[in-house]
């Protein structure tokens, strides 16, 4: 069965003390994750070492960085290399989040370079794609998402692709309280999987985890995750509440 993932994206929130308490509270709750299920916490850079220490020995719980740079090292003040993340034992990196694309003008080619260096250091990219409201209203979301994926990922081999997690995030549903219906989510997740099936074959596509990210909450997670091609969620605001995120984790199919 494909990996099912509940991924928390804390974004730029919480103090160190608040983050420690939140992780403690979530870890203390019963999850009973199956061997194909994972909980992933994308925490701010200053908290990576703390978070990694907290989840030590917990086989189904992993820590992610929220970003990385596309160079191995050098005079890039303020940036964080994948080698640094690897030295901390970090398993995942969020690549191409809509906020990085919008506020920091990260291009598809730039993101392809980040993906390459993550794979070189054996860190799994959680690669984000998704459209803004005007694109959805124009009905061109499939073409838009296809271009994001093709320009950033289609240079990879089938073997490399097995180390990628896709996160589809309708930008119009992030932090707005709006959520794609379960049918809308399934429709575009199936389309994303079909793109990879055409390029890499059905077996590779069926093994690819595709997460939904856009106002996932405890109240809608189960319905979303029950969709055939939805393999979990990349969760923002709801991941800052222990009980709420625990409900999301236990909604994995």
Share of the chain above pLDDT 90, in %: 89
Residue 36: exposure state from Cβ atoms within 10 A (0-12, 13-18, ≥19): middle
Instruction: Domain of residue 217: give its range.
Output: 4-249
- The CATH code of the domain that includes 42 is 3.20.20.70
What's the rounded Cα separation, in Å, for the pair 70 and 121? 12
Tell me the pLDDT tens digit for each residue of 98-147.
999 999 999 999 999 999 999 999 999 999 999 998 898 899 999 999 99
Q: Provide the mean pLDDT of the chain.
A: 95
The token pair that represents 103 in the structure block: 């506020």
Is the pLDDT score of 179 beyond 80? Answer: no
Q: Point out which residues pair with 127 in neighbouring strands.
A: 95, 166
Query: What is the model's pLDDT at position 137?
Result: 87
pTM (2 d.p.):
0.96
Angle between helices 16-28 and 242-249 (to 10 degrees): 40
Q: Point out which residues pair with 129 in neighbouring strands.
A: 168
Q: What is the largest CA-CA distance in the chain?
A: 48
What's the rounded Cα separation, in Å, for the pair 81 and 72? 6
Catalytic residues: 97, 169
Tell me the pLDDT tens digit for each residue of 152-161.
999 999 999 9
Q: Point out which residues pair with 39 in neighbouring strands.
A: 6, 61
Query: What is the model's pLDDT at position 30?
Result: 84
The token pair that represents 85 in the structure block: 């993340």
Confidence of residue 174 (pLDDT cuts 50, 70, 90): confident
Q: State the total domains in the chain.
A: 1
């Amino acid at each position: 069965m494909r990996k099912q993932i509940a991924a928390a994206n804390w974004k730029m929130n919480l103090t160190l003390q608040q983050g420690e308490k939140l992780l403690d509270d979530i870890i203390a709750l019963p999850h009973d994750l199956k061997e194909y299920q994972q909980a992933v916490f994308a925490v701010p850079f200053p908290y990576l070492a703390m978070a990694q220490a907290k989840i030590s020995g917990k086989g189904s719980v992993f820590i992610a960085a929220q970003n990385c740079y596309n160079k191995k090292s050098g005079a890039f003040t303020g940036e964080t290399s994948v080698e640094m993340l690897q030295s901390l034992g970090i398993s995942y990196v969020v690549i191409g989040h809509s906020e990085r694309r919008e506020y920091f003008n990260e291009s598809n080619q730039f993101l392809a370079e980040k993906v390459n260096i993550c794979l070189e250091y054996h860190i799994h990219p959680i690669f984000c794609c998704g459209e803004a409201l005007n694109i959805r209203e124009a009905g061109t979301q499939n073409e838009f998402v296809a271009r994001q994926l093709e320009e950033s990922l289609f240079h990879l081999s089938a073997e490399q692709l097995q180390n990628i997690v896709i996160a589809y995030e309708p930008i119009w549903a992030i932090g707005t309280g709006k959520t794609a219906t379960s049918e809308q989510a399934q429709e575009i997740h199936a389309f994303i999987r079909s793109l990879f099936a055409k390029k890499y074959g059905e077996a590779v596509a069926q093994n690819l985890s595709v997460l939904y990210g856009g106002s996932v909450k405890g109240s809608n997670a189960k319905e979303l995750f029950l969709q055939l091609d939805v393999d979990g969620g990349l969760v923002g605001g709801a991941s800052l509440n222990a009980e709420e995120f625990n409900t999301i984790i236990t909604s994995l199919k």
